[in-house]
Chain A
C-alpha cells in the first residue's frame, strides 16, 4: 500500500498495461518527451521507448483516427486528447466512427481503444478548457464512458478500459490530479459498469461522479454532523455501462435520490438516472429526485465566478437538507 496522487496513478495505470501487453501503444500531443501538459505521463517515453509512446502534431482528428485504424487492425491504443473540450474538433470519431463501425459492419470491425482526456473545471481556464463533457459522450450508442474519482480507481478502471474490447472514453478530472489516495501494491484491475457505495447511509442517496464525489462525501459528513442526516454516497464511476442496480438498490434503502453533476444541466447524466428511478423505483421514493448541477451556462474563467457555479459541498448539503425538511 502506498499513497499516490491521481496524476501518478495515471502514469502507473498506463505503465501497468503497457508492461502487460506489447500491443498497447500511447499517442497524443506532448505526451512523450514532455510528459504531458498535466505531467500525467512523465517517464513513460523513457520506460517504453519512442515506438510505443509517441508525440503527435496538434491534429486531434489524426490522433483519434490513427488510434481507430490501429485498434481495428490489432493494436490496443491509448490516445490522449489534452482537454476534453477538444472533443469538439474530433467529434466525428467519437460520435460517428468508433461507436458505429462494429454495428454498421455487422460485427466485422472492432475498435478496442481508450481515449484519455483532462475533463472538468477548477483550473480557471474559462469556457473552452474547463467543461465537463461526460454528457456529450454518454448519449452515443456504442461508446463506454468512465470517470474515476480516486487514484486507485484511476489504475483499476484504466486497466479495465484498456482490456475492454469496446471504445472507452476515460475522463480524468483535472482538479483531481494533485489529490492523493491509498493504492495497493501490485496489479490493479477493476471492472467497468460497477458503481461503488463509498459511504453508507439511510436517509438519502447521493450519486456523484469524478470531482463531485469528494464534494458529495464532504457534504454527507456535514449533513451528519450538523443536521443528523445520514446520506449514502454512490460513486457512479462508469456512465456506460451504467450500474443501475447499485443505484436503485441504494434508493430502495434510503427512499430519496440526489445527483451531483458537474456537466451543464440540460441532458446531464443525472437526468437519465432520475428517469430510470422514476420508471422503475417510483414507489421506493418518499420525495422528488433532485438534480444538483452546474447551471446551463458556459463556464466563466474568474475563480470567484467558477466557484459560484459548480456544485460545492455547502450547496449539496443545503439542497439535501432543504429537500428532506420540506
Chain B
C-alpha cells in the first residue's frame, strides 16, 4: 500500500492542470505571501516599538500553514502554538485583526487581552494559540472526540514545533488519539531548533516527530515542509484518513525559520551559511518559480503580491490609528456571565 508520503511525492510537479490545479495553486501562493508580508511587517513594527510584548514569526515556514489550511474545509479546527500568526492568517483571519493584536490595539483579534501568543478566531476555526508547549495536543484530541461522538465531519489539526516532541503531553496525546482513533492531525513543523538549541542535540532520534510515530502505531511521515504542493497533498491524505474514521496522523514537515525564535533572538547560534542555504529553498521562492514554470503569467503573480502588500499596508495604517483597548475590558469574560465576580 502506498503511504501518504509516496502518494504526495508521486503526484508532485506534474503540471498546472494536475490534481491541485491553477485556482488552488494561486490560493496557496496568496496565503504564503499574506503570511510573509504580514510577518515581515510585524518585525518592522517591532523595530519601531509598535509591536509590544513578544512575537514568534513564521518567516520561512509559510508553506506548512498554507498547505494545511488549503486542504481544510470550513468546519475544520486549527490549534496553534505561540508561533501561530501564520496558521491564523491561513484560515482567513484579517491581517488588521492580527496586527492589531500584536500592536495591542482595540481593533485586535482579542482586543489586546491575549496578545501575539494566543491568537484565536473561533469563527474561522482557529480554536486558540497555546503558549505552554504541548498543551494543545490533548485539547485537539478533545475537539476530535466531540466530532467523533457527534458524527460531525470536521477534523482537528494541531500545529507545533519540533521542541514539543520531547514533552509529555505530546506522547500522552498521540497514544490517546491512536487508542480512541480520533479524527485529529498532528503537524510538527521541524525548523531544526527547539528554541536556541538544535533539536538533534536533545532528541534521541533523528526525526523528532516521525521517528516516534511507530510507538503509537502510526505511519512514519516526513515531508518537505517548504513545498506547499507537497504539504497540501500530504494534508489531503491525512484529512481523508481522518474523515474516513481511520484515526490520527502525525506529519513531520521539514522547514526552517528565517528569523530567531522570538523577537529577542538574533539567532547567532546558527552555523554560518545555514540560513543562506535554506533561503535557496525559501517556500515562496520555490512556489513562485513553480507557478512561472507552469505558465502562470508574471502579471498574475505580481498582481497577487501587490494586492497583498496593499492589504498589509492598509492594515498597518488602520492599526496605527486604532485606539488602545478601554480599561473596562480588564474585568470582562473571566467567567461565563461576562464578569469577574468570585464572591457575593
Co-complex (A, B):
yes
Determine whether the beta carbon of B138 is less than 8 Å from that of A75: no
Chain A positions 44 through 87: 1 when the CB is less than 8 Å from some CB of chain B, otherwise 0: 00000001001011010111111111111111010000000000
Given the contacts A73-B77, A96-B135, A106 and B343 also touching, CB distance less than 8 Å: no
Q: Does B324 contact A (CB under 8 A)?
A: no
Stretch of A5-13, A108-116, A178-186, A250-258 that contacts chain B: A108-116
Smallest distance from the beta carbon of B41 to chain A beta carbons, Å?
Answer: 23
Q: Does A104 contact B (CB under 8 A)?
A: yes
Determine whether the beta carbon of A66 is less than 8 Å from that of B142: yes
Stretch of A169-177, A222-230, A236-244 that contacts chain B: A236-244
A67 partner residues in chain B, CB cutoff 8 A = 142
Q: Give the contact-size bracket for chain A.
A: 35 or more
B280 partner residues in chain A, CB cutoff 8 A = none
Q: From A71, A144, A245, give the contact of B344 (CB < 8 A).
A: A245
Q: From A70, A108, A243, A244, give the contact of B143 (CB < 8 A).
A: A70
Which residue, of A64, A106, A107, A242, has the highest number of chain B Cβ atoms within 10 A? A106
Given the contacts A66-B141, A96-B135, A104 and B110 also touching, CB distance less than 8 Å: yes
CA distance A66 to B175 in the complex (A): 12
Determine whether the beta carbon of B128 is less than 8 Å from that of A102: no
Smallest distance from the beta carbon of B85 to chain A beta carbons, Å?
Answer: 15
Given the contacts A74-B150, A103-B333, A105-B110, A62 and B175 also touching, CB distance less than 8 Å: yes
Determine whether the beta carbon of A241 is less than 8 Å from that of B149: no
CA distance A68 to B137 in the complex (A): 11
Which residue, of A68, A241, A276, has the highest number of chain B Cβ atoms within 10 A? A68
Q: From B176, B340, B342, give the contact of A57 (CB < 8 A).
A: B176
Given the contacts A57-B175, A59-B176, A65 and B113 also touching, CB distance less than 8 Å: no
Given the contacts A105-B120, A112-B336, A75 and B146 also touching, CB distance less than 8 Å: yes
CA distance A64 to B169 in the complex (A): 11
Name B's A-contacting residues (CB within 8 A): 77, 109-111, 113-115, 118, 120-123, 127-128, 130, 132, 134-147, 149-150, 156, 168-169, 172-173, 175-176, 179-180, 329, 332-338, 340-344
CA distance A66 to B141 in the complex (A): 5
B109 partner residues in chain A, CB cutoff 8 A = 106
CA distance A85 to B115 in the complex (A): 32
B150 partner residues in chain A, CB cutoff 8 A = 74
CA distance A51 to B168 in the complex (A): 26
A69 partner residues in chain B, CB cutoff 8 A = 127, 138-146, 156
A65 partner residues in chain B, CB cutoff 8 A = 135-139, 141-142, 169, 172-173
